[in-house]
Amino acid sequence: MALRGGAELDELDARPPGKLPGGATPLMRQYRRIKDEHRDKILLFHLGDFYEMFDEDARTASRVLGIALTSRSKGDGSVPLAGFPCAAAREYIEKLLAAGLRVAICDQVEDPALAKGLVRREVTRVITPGTLLDEGLLRPDTNNYLAALAPGREKSGLAFADLSTGEFAVAELTRAEIETELARIRPAEILLPESVRDEEEPYYGRADDTDRARPTYYPDWAFDTETARRKLLEHLRAATLEAFGCESMPLAQAAAGALLRYLEETHRAGMEHMSALQVIEPGEYLAFDGEALRNLEVLETIRERRKEGSLLGVLDRTRTAPGGRRLRQWLARPLAAVEPIRARHEAVGELVREQSLRARLRTALARVQDLERLASRLAAGRVNARDLLGLAESIEAASALAQEAAGASAPLLRATLEALGRASGLAHLPGKIRSTLRPDAPSGVREGGLIADGVSEELDRLRKVRAGGRSWIAEFQAREAERTGISSLKVGYNKVFGYYIEVTRSNLHLVPPEYERKQTLVGAERFVTPELRAREAEVLGAEEKIVALEYRIFCELRDEVAKELHAIRDLGAAVGDLDALASLAEVAADRGYVRPEVDESLVCEIQEGRHPVLDSLMEPGRLVPNDLSLDAEKRQILVVTGPNMAGKSTYIRMCALVAVMAQAGSFVPAARARVGLVDRLFARVGASDDIARGRSTFMVEMVETARVLRAATKRSLVVLDEVGRGTSTYDGVSIAWAVTEHLHEVVGCRTLFATHYHELCAIADELPRVANVNVAVREWGDEITFLYRIVPGGADRSYGIHVARLAGVPREVIGRAREVLALLESRGERASRRSARPRRAKGAEQMPLLAPDEPPASAARPRAPSRLEEALRALKVEEMTPVQALVELERLKRLLEEEPKAE
Ligand code: ADP
Ligand code: MG
C-alpha cells in the first residue's frame, strides 16, 4: 500500500498552537519557499509515496485530474491538498500538460530514513509541453519541438529544438516563412519575449488557430543578442559561430540563446547531445504556403487529425522510430533543388529493384532501437540497464547493415550505409555491455540484480556471503523444526522486522525459552534468536553493499557509454535515413509507383496519375487514373469543371501530392511523371472547411487568395479548389475570374482551378494559356453516372440537382429545384453578360470586395493621419483592376496591423 505523506504530513495536523497562519509548519514553510520560485507551474511535492499539491495548485489539479480535493487541517489554518501516487505520476503529468499546465517536480533529495528532521527537497525537473524527454510522454514517430522566436523588423529569428532527439536548428525568416516553418515542425511550445504578450494577432499563428503552439513568455533580456550569443557559444563550446554558418545572424542567435536558457532551466540535466546546430536557409525547401500542408493532408487528415488517411499514412512503412520521424520530416520539408532530390530517387530506385537487399535491410532495421532518444537520455544520465542492452543489440544490428554498403551503388544509399559503418567506432561497446550486465536486468538501477557474475571480485564475494547466509537460514529452519518438534516452523523475512521465526498459535507451547518474541499476529507469533540476528546482519550487510556496488559499476559503464553519445546519436540518425529510404522503396514496389523525373522546367506532366491516398484505399481496378499536363509557357492554367462529386478535387490534389512526393524523394503513383521544380505550393480549398474556425468564410478566402496572388512566383504551383464559394454565385464567379486573370497575366505560375461554376470555362476563350478540362459523366435520361475520367473542354452545366437526386433528396424537391434553376438560368443569362465577364477597365466597380455585412476595416479617428490613412488617400481606385484592389486591400490590412494601437 502507498504510504501517503507518512509522519511528515501528520505534522500538518500537529501545528504548534497559536499564531502561525496557513499551516506554517516547517514542512509548509519548505513547500512555500520552493513554490515561490515556481509560481507559474504546478508544483508536485514528493511526500512519502505521493506527489502532493497544496493551495491553488491543489484546486487546479483536482479539477483537471478529477482527483479528490481534501484539506489536511482543521480550523483557520486549513490547507487544500490533492495528490497522486508517485508510481502513477506519468499518467497524471501527461494530463496536466495536455491541459496546458507546466509541472515542476520537487523530489526528496535525501533518504527519508537517514534524514535528520525535515527531508531535503529540490525541484529536479520542470516539464513543459516542449521539453519532454521521458519515453512515455512522447510519440515515437513524431518529433517534439520547442521553438523560440526573436521578432525583428523585416525578418525574425527562429530557433527550434527537440530535446528528446538532439535536433537543433536556427533560421532568420520573414513572417510568412516563419508560418511555413512552424506548420512544418508544429512545435509543442513556443517561447516569445515578454514584450509581445499583448500583441493582438500573434504572428506565429492566428489566434483562432487550433494548431497554434502554446506560447510561453520569457524575459526580454534572455533574447538580448549579446546575452543570447554568449549562451549559444557556451553551449556549443565554440569561440565563434562561423563554422555553424550563423555568425552574422543576430536574430537567430537571440532565439537560440533564449531557447537554450529555457531548456537549461527546465531540463536541469546534460544537453550535450544538442551539439549539431543546423542553419535553415529560406528557399532550401519547398514552401507550403499558409494552409497548404494542412489542406493537402500531407501529415494528417483535416477532420480527425490522424495519420491514417494522410499522405504520410500511405508512405510510412518504417521499422524504427527515427525512421518514422525522418519520413515525416521529409514530407513536411520537400527539397527544392534538383540534385538532392535525384539522389534520393536513385537510392529509393535501387532499393525498389534490389528486393532481397531491401528485405535484409528491413529485417535488420527492426532490431535497432531509438538511438537518437537514447543518446538524449544518456546525456541526461537517465538510462537503465535495459537501455544499454538494447544499445548493444542495436550496434550489432547496425554493423550488420553496414556490411551491405559494398553492394550498394546509389551514392546516397552507400553514404547512409557507410554512416552506419562508422558504428564500428562503437564496436567495443556491445561486448563490454553484455559482459557487464545480466541479460535479465530489471528496469530499476538502484535495487541490484544488474551486474553479471565475474565482473567484480568484491561483488562475487559479497554475493557468496549473502548466499551463504541464506542457505544457513534454510538449514537453520530445518534444524529448528527438528529440534523443537514444530514441523510447521518457518523462517521468514520482512522489511520492518528483518528475519524471524514464525510459530503458529497451536504450537506455542513447544517454543524453547531462548526464543525472543518479536511480533504477534492473528494466528501466529514471530520470534528471533541471537544466532539468527547475527546471520541477518551478515545477509543484510552484504545485500546493502551489493546494491551500492552494483550501482557504482553500472554508473561506470553508463559513463563510459556516454562518452560515445555523439556517435550513438549519429548512428540513430543514419538509421532514420536508411529506414525512410527503405520505407519509400517498399511502398513504391508494393503500389507500383514510378520514379518521377524532376528538372528545372516549368512543366508538370503526369500520365495515368492516381491520388495516393485514394489509390491505397480503393479496391484494385476501381480507381480511374488520369493524365495531367501543365506548362507555365503554354498550358499554364487548367480550369477543371464538372458536377459535384465528380472527382475534381481528387484530380487537382493528385497533382499537388505528386509534386510533394517527387520533391520529398518518393516515387509517385503514376505510369510516368515529370515535375519541374516547384518553389512554393499553394492549396486553397473551398471555404466550407473554415466554418469550424468561426471566421467569415468569404473574408478568409479573400485574405488567403490575396496572399497567393502576392507571394506566388512563376515557379509556384497553385491549387485552388472552389475558390469564391463563400459568397453568391456571381461574386464567386467574378472573383474566380479575376484571380485567374491575375495568375495568367502577372504571376504566370502553374495553376489548377477546380470549380463547379461552369461559367468560368469561358475565360479560356480570352486567355491563351488557360485550358478547360472536365470530369466526364454519362447521362442516361435523368440518371448520371460518374466516370471519374478527365476529358478536354469545359462542363456545360453544374449537375448539382442530379447529385441531390443521387443523394436521396425527395422527388418533389428535385422537381421544384428544376423549376427554380430554369428561372435562374434565364435571368442569369442576362446578368452574366454584365457580371461574369468583366472587362478589365470597368471591373473594379462591379466587384464588391467586402460582403455587404462586413464592417468597414477601420473607423476614422480625429487625429494626425496615419500611414494607413495616407495610403488610403493615395489610392486611385478607378485605375485599379479588381485583383490589384484585392492585393492592395491585403497590403492595407498589414499596414493596419503595424500601426501603433491608438486608444
Ligand atoms: P468533386 O471535387 O468533383 O466534388 P471529389 O474529388 O471530392 O469530387 O471526388 C468525390 C469522390 O469520387 C471521391 O471521394 C472518390 O470516392 C470518387 N473519386 C474521385 N476521383 C476518382 C477516381 N479517379 N477514380 C475513382 N473514384 C474517384
Ligand atoms: Mg471538390
**Per-domain residue ranges of the chain:** 6-127, 141-284, 318-452+568-591, 457-558, 597-798, 810-863, 867-898
Q: Cβ(647) to ligand 1 under 6 A?
A: yes
Residue 614 Cα, ligand 1 centroid: separation in angstroms?
9
Compute φ and ψ for 724, nearest 5 degrees. 95, 5
Are 755 and 639 within 8 A, CB to CB?
A: yes
Protein residue closest via CA to atom 10 of ligand 1: 645
Residue 751 Cα, ligand 2 centroid: separation in angstroms?
16
Q: Which residue's entry shows cell 491514417?
A: 308
286 vs 874 pLDDT, higher one? 286
Q: Cβ(644) to ligand 1 under 6 A?
A: yes
The neighbour count for residue 91, using CB atoms within 10 Å, is 12
Mutate to test the pocket of ligand 1, among 645, 789, 791 (most ligand atoms within 8 A of CB): 645
Which atom of ligand 1 lies nearest, measured to the CA of 653? 6
Are 264 and 218 within 8 A, CB to CB?
A: no
| Confidence (pLDDT) at 698 | 66
Q: Is the pLDDT of residue 735 over 90?
A: no
**Would strands 287-288 and 80-85 be described as parallel, antiparallel, or unpaired?**
unpaired
Q: Residue 503: which of 495, 516, 494 has the closest Cα?
A: 516
pLDDT band at 690; cut points 50, 70, 90? very low
Which atom of ligand 1 lies nearest, measured to the CA of 643? 3
Its sign, for the CA torsion 240, 246, 251, 253, is: negative
Q: Residue 328: which of 584, 94, 574 has the closest Cα?
A: 584
Which atom of ligand 1 lies nearest, measured to the CA of 756? 3
Residue 332 Cα, ligand 1 centroid: separation in angstroms?
25
Q: Cβ(426) to ligand 1 under 6 A?
A: no
The CA distance from 891 to 885, in Å, is: 10
Q: Cβ(623) to ligand 1 under 6 A?
A: yes
Q: Cβ(709) to ligand 1 under 6 A?
A: no
The neighbour count for residue 1, using CB atoms within 10 Å, is 5
For the chain, percent of residues with pLDDT exceeding 90: 55
**CATH fold of 597-798:** Rossmann fold (3.40.50)
Q: Cβ(408) to ligand 1 under 6 A?
A: no
The CA distance from 229 to 222, in Å, is: 10
The CA distance from 629 to 635, in Å, is: 8
Mean pLDDT of 227-239: 94
Residue 567 Cα, ligand 1 centroid: separation in angstroms?
49
Domains 318-452+568-591 and 457-558 share a fold: yes
Count CA atoms closer than 13 A to 379's CA, side-chain side: 26
Cα–Cα separations (whole angstroms), residue 853 to 723, 727, 845: 20, 12, 18
Which atom of ligand 1 lies nearest, measured to the CA of 622? 25
| pLDDT tens string 417-457 | 999 988 778 999 999 999 999 999 998 888 899 999 999 99
Cα–Cα separations (whole angstroms), residue 4 to 8, 106, 107, 413: 10, 16, 15, 57
Q: Cβ(466) to ligand 1 under 6 A?
A: no
Report the CATH superfamily, name and number, of domain 6-127: DNA repair protein MutS, domain I (3.40.1170.10)
850 Cβ contact partners less than 8 Å away, ≥ 6 residues apart:
856
Mutate to test the pocket of ligand 1, among 606, 640, 650 (most ligand atoms within 8 A of CB): 650
Residue 756 Cα, ligand 2 centroid: separation in angstroms?
8
As assigned by CATH, the class of the 318-452+568-591 domain is mainly alpha
Compute φ and ψ for 773, nearest 5 degrees. -135, 160
245 Cβ contact partners less than 8 Å away, ≥ 6 residues apart:
279
| Confidence (pLDDT) at 308 | 94
**Would strands 156-162 and 146-150 be described as parallel, antiparallel, or unpaired?**
antiparallel
Mean pLDDT of 484-500: 88
The CA distance from 511 to 490, in Å, is: 13
Ligand sitting nearest the alpha carbon of 795? 1
Q: Residue 701: which of 890, 864, 531 has the closest Cα?
A: 890
Mean pLDDT of 139-146: 93
The CA distance from 518 to 492, in Å, is: 13
The identity of residue 887, as a single letter, is: V
Ligand sitting nearest the alpha carbon of 309? 1
Report the CATH superfamily, name and number, of domain 141-284: MutS, connector domain (3.30.420.110)
Of 208-222, 534-548, 576-590, which one has max mean pLDDT? Answer: 576-590
Q: Cβ(648) to ligand 1 under 6 A?
A: yes
What residues form DSSP beta bridges with 710? none
The helix-helix angle for 729-742 and 882-898 (nearest 10°) equals 90
Mean pLDDT check: name the lowest of 409-418, 477-486, 723-732, 735-744: 723-732
The CA distance from 184 to 142, in Å, is: 12
Protein residue closest via CA to atom 5 of ligand 1: 647
Mean pLDDT check: name the lowest of 251-255, 384-388, 443-447, 588-592: 443-447
Which atom of ligand 1 lies nearest, measured to the CA of 611? 23
Give the global pTM: 0.82
The CA distance from 480 to 489, in Å, is: 8
Are 728 and 757 within 8 A, CB to CB?
A: no
Residue 790 Cα, ligand 1 centroid: separation in angstroms?
11
| Chain-centre distance for alpha carbon 752 | 31
The CA distance from 636 to 752, in Å, is: 9
Ligand sitting nearest the alpha carbon of 653? 1
Mean pLDDT of 553-564: 96
The CA distance from 498 to 39, in Å, is: 44
Cα–Cα separations (whole angstroms), residue 12 to 9, 31, 80, 703: 6, 12, 11, 60
Residue 763 Cα, ligand 1 centroid: separation in angstroms?
25
Mean pLDDT check: name the lowest of 91-95, 113-117, 206-210: 206-210
The order of strands in the sheet holding 516-520 is 490-494, 498-504, 524-528, 516-520
Protein residue closest via CA to atom 6 of ligand 1: 647
What residues form DSSP beta bridges with 635? 631
Q: Which residue's entry shows cell 518504417?
A: 318
* H and E: helices and strands count for the chain: 29, 27
The CA distance from 794 to 755, in Å, is: 11
Which atom of ligand 1 lies nearest, measured to the CA of 644? 4
| pLDDT tens string 561-612 | 999 999 999 999 999 999 999 999 999 999 999 999 999 999 999 999 999 9
- Look at phi and psi of residue 381 and say left if phi exceeds 0, alpha if psi is from -120 to 50, else beta: left
Ligand sitting nearest the alpha carbon of 641? 1
CATH numeric code, 457-558: 1.10.1420.10
